[in-house]
Amino acid sequence: MKITLEKYKAIDAITADRSLSEIDKTLYCICALYDYAPEQLDKEDPLKVIKMAAKMEKVFKFKISAPAVIGIYKINYDISSITFGQYIELSYFFQFNAIDKSNYILATVATSIIKKSHSKIANYFSSKSIGVISGAMAKIRAGYVALNKEFGALFGLDDEVHPDANKDSFMTQFNNRYGWIYSAEAVAMYERISVEQAYKLPIRRALNDLVYLKQKQKYEYLLTKK
């Protein structure tokens, strides 16, 4: 029996609920895995419930894989080849629990001849095996982290330009909430294109633009200090 991402997330939420006793967690997890209502499980033969619980342990020993194609969708694991808009989406979703947003992350880098909305593609991945989703997620994250390391100078406020910045300052709060929107506007202005066109730029080009703009800002700041 394979466990889907949707069921895995439901079970993960149950096990994280501190208000439930261990026995209640087990019973609710059985309900989530086998599509039982709690009242239905109460009426089951206790021996059958015990067998279901034992089988549930085996279900979580799933194999992890990262296939090039999941269902009808091809997964682009080469994060350096995505667009600026896709990168911004990944940056947003990676702020949250990886499992909770994994179907949305996959939807961002998935392609198919069948055109569907991002939310519908995400719903599609919710029905897929957690082993496949976990493997794909790990590979996507690795590519994302590698790209960020390549452009490490871009991230964070420059201490020399913003010596008084701290995590509670308005500037830092603005940067955390709207930083990528501001960056997209800056790239659009620099490239002399619309913001919508900026989102479609290759990610390396957009990040290189931002590195230049950040260095230019520092250069102009240092000139004013002389």
- Give the model's pLDDT for residue 175: 73
pLDDT greater than 70 at residue 2: yes
Q: How confident is the model at residue 158 (pLDDT cuts 50, 70, 90)?
A: low
- Give the model's pLDDT for residue 149: 94
Whether residue 86 is found in the same domain as residue 14:
no
Residue 197: partners with Cβ closer than 8 Å, 6 or more residues away: 188, 191
Q: Do 13 and 25 form a contact (C-beta atoms < 8 A)?
A: no
Whether residue 165 is found in the same domain as residue 145:
no
208 part of a folded domain = yes
- Give the model's pLDDT for residue 166: 57
- Give the model's pLDDT for residue 194: 97
Whether residue 166 is found in the same domain as residue 110:
no
pLDDT tens across 92-109, in order? 999 887 788 999 999 999
64 part of a folded domain = no
CB atoms within 10 A of CB 66: 18
Whether residue 44 is found in the same domain as residue 30:
yes
130 part of a folded domain = yes
45 part of a folded domain = yes
Whether residue 112 is found in the same domain as residue 93:
yes
In percent, the amount of the chain with pLDDT more than 70 equals 92
Whether residue 25 is found in the same domain as residue 51:
yes
Whether residue 140 is found in the same domain as residue 207:
no
pLDDT tens across 161-171, in order? 555 555 567 76
Q: How far is CA 173 from CA 85, 160, 177, 185, 223, in A?
A: 22, 19, 6, 18, 27
Q: The domain containing residue 88 runs over which residues?
A: 69-150
pLDDT tens across 6-17, in order? 999 999 999 999
Please count the structural domains in the chain: 3
50 part of a folded domain = yes
Whether residue 38 is found in the same domain as residue 99:
no
pLDDT greater than 70 at residue 202: yes
| Amino acid at the residue 74 | K
Q: Do 55 and 34 form a contact (C-beta atoms < 8 A)?
A: no
pLDDT tens across 209-219, in order? 999 999 998 88
Whether residue 126 is found in the same domain as residue 84:
yes
pLDDT tens across 175-194, in order? 777 788 999 999 999 999 99
Q: Is 90 exposed, middle or buried (0-12, 13-18, 19+ CB in 10 A)?
A: buried
- Give the model's pLDDT for residue 160: 59
Whether residue 142 is found in the same domain as residue 160:
no
| Pairing label, strands 73-75, 110-111 | antiparallel
Secondary structure tally for the chain: helices H, strands E: 11, 3
| Amino acid at the residue 22 | E
